[in-house]
Amino acid sequence: MPERRDDQIKLGVFYWPGGHHVAAWRHPQAETDSVFDFRRCAELAQLAERGKIDLFFIADLVGIRPENIDAQAGAARAVYFEPLTLLGALSAVTDRIGLVATATTTYNEPYHLARKLASLDLINGGRTGWNLVTSHNQAEAANFGAETHMAHADRYDRATEFAEVVKGLWDSWEDDAIERNKQSGRYFDPAKLHFLNHKGKHFSVRGPLNVPRSPQGHPVLVQAGSSGPGRELAARTAEVIFTAAESIGEGQAFYSDVKERLKKYGRDPQHCCIMPGIFPVISRTQKEAEDKYEYLQSLVQPQVGLFLLQHLLGRDLSAYDPDKPLPDLPEHDGAKGRTEVILRTARKDNLTLRQLYLQIAVARGHTVVIGTPEKVADTMEEWFVGRAADGFNILPPVFPTSLEDFVELVIPELQRRNLFRKDYEGTTLREHLGLPKPEFVKRSSAHAEEEKERQLANAG
């Protein structure tokens, strides 16, 4: 085994109502009301916090596909809390765990999103993260007055500029700009307020943001794209990268590629945590874990499995024989990184459509580990020490029982191996992840500063 690292594994919990297996909601032990009962969702975040886990992650889509509604009716994938609202509520019932919400750059405006996330970061004392995504289906476009969905390259071009604008707005105020000096009568120092005055291809945003910097500077930037443009955006902007890899070899290739890309943007590779997803089916014996897995697989409804595969591949597969290998498929404009992972798996093992959707129903292209706590810890240690991961985004098959298994059985094993913390060392998400607080960057031009001074003088 390669030389041990001097850091420790980072861990996130990926929340999804019922669980990550597509049939999890049908499991007798699954709690399917966490999407309607906030108290249930809060208990899951608090359970993760008791395990000293770094972050609680919330995914999102802003549309429901209009096709195959009957198939969608068999999956708990259509209704869930809006992430920023949920993150705000969770901020009040947790103390240390980081809280990461997904928000699309395709159907948002930078100022709105920068303001909401900065406010949340102040509310929870510097525990917020933003999972930056680009929307990838027509159903979302139709909810925002768009007749056609934006092309893949255009989405990433917009996302790159979007991220730069948001970061610029987060640097509207220097760290010590707010004085609140009752004696002098000055609430803030005008010299430490900065107008952005951004004018670009996609956005024109003057600023400044009317929210100051938080204890961690600004929210942690998370990104999950695995395509070429996705990796480039991640290398340029991301501080945490969620990815999917089914083998340690795939993980190592992604890890080395992205870490190398960071260097051309002048970034320290240690300032970006790569956290592939892991789907652990855990029990005290191997046989019990395998039985758990087989029972979950028995709950998959064929029409639901096929719909999930179609959703992930961005293609209609209804004309193909489910018991024949996946045919050659035309190019599409959806989520290319995840599609490539799934297609590689299908080709490598010559899987039929049915075999493929049963496999995808489990973890959607993420690595699956079925076994004892020691086996799960062995896999995580191998990936971590082997530079395939800095940590993992945990995809519990069934909520809450699978998360309970991980917290009660796997985390103590990782702690015994000195691979994971016994307690939080800091209070902010950046401190949990070992990321530096971003220095304030003055982004406004000299002309913008002159304009700001003129406006302030007129206001006075």
pLDDT in tens, 341-356: 777 777 878 888 888 8
Average pLDDT over residues 18-42: 90
> Cβ distance 222 to 238 under 8 Å?
yes
pLDDT at 249: 96
Residue 396 pLDDT more than 80? yes
What is the model's pLDDT at position 60?
Answer: 93
97 C-beta neighbours (distance < 10 Å), count: 26
Q: Rounded mean pLDDT of 244-273? A: 94
pTM higher than the cut 0.85: yes
Taking each helix axis from N to C end, the angle separating 152-170 and 110-123, rounded to the nearest 10 degrees, works out to: 50
Q: What is the mean pLDDT of the chain?
A: 90
Q: Where are the domains of the chain?
A: 10-298+369-459
Q: If pLDDT is split at 50, 70 and 90, which confidence band does 330 have? A: low
- Quote the CA–CA distance of 456 and 443 in Å, as a whole number: 19
Tokens of 215: 């204890």
With CA atoms as reference, report the closest residue to 398 among 8, 32, 4: 32
Mean pLDDT lowest among 75-79, 121-125, 275-279: 75-79
Q: What is the pLDDT of residues 192-242, one digit of tens each?
A: 999 999 999 999 999 999 999 999 999 999 998 777 888 998 999 999 999
State which fold the 10-298+369-459 domain adopts: TIM Barrel (3.20.20)
Residue 402's pLDDT is what? 98
What was the pLDDT predicted at 220?
Answer: 98
